[in-house]
Amino acid sequence: MHVIFGGAFNGKRAYVEQRVRGRNVQWLDVEADAYILLPNIEVIVVFGVEHLLEPKSKELLEKMEKWNEQAEVLVIATEIGRGIVPMEENMRKLRDDVGRFYQQLFTRADSVTRIWYGISQTLKGDEQIENLH
């Protein structure tokens, strides 16, 4: 499993689209889609994970590990833990919950790439640092 994370609108999706070009890909929005895989999929791209709360995030993590046995799993994760701490209690809780989920996700991932303003940096895994144009 490979996690690609970074701030909103920093080029995560463009990085993934470039990486999966020409392959049989299924995009899964965890907020909207049912977790049913199509046949003959080479790559599963999971996005929207920053909107899930417990226990759904734990269930999704288990599913992604199983999917990773049959296809390459790429997870696009938007960083929401930086910057100003929200005043609203429910938003602070979401931020904390997402942070804990990301810790589990990043630990279980084979590789982790941070995208910052279109530039990729591999933080975990064997891949070399790549530059997006």
Tell me the pLDDT of the chain averaged across its residues: 89
pTM here is: 0.88
Positive or negative, the CA dihedral 46, 55, 38, 67 is positive
Is 131 part of a structural domain of the chain? no
- CATH number where 97 lies: 3.40.50.300
Q: How many folded domains does the chain comprise?
A: 1
C-alpha separations of 124 from 22, 30, 41, 52, 96 in Å: 25, 24, 25, 24, 22
Residue type, 122: T
8 Å CB contact between 2 and 74: yes
Quote the pLDDT of residue 128: 42
Is 16 part of a structural domain of the chain? yes
Q: Mind listing the pLDDT tens digit for each residue in 95-123?
A: 899 999 999 999 999 999 999 999 999 99
Q: Smallest Cα–Cα separation from 37: which of 59, 68, 61?
A: 68
Distance CA 25, CA 43 (A): 5
Q: Mind listing the pLDDT tens digit for each residue in 44-71?
A: 999 999 988 777 888 899 999 999 999 9
Is 133 part of a structural domain of the chain? no
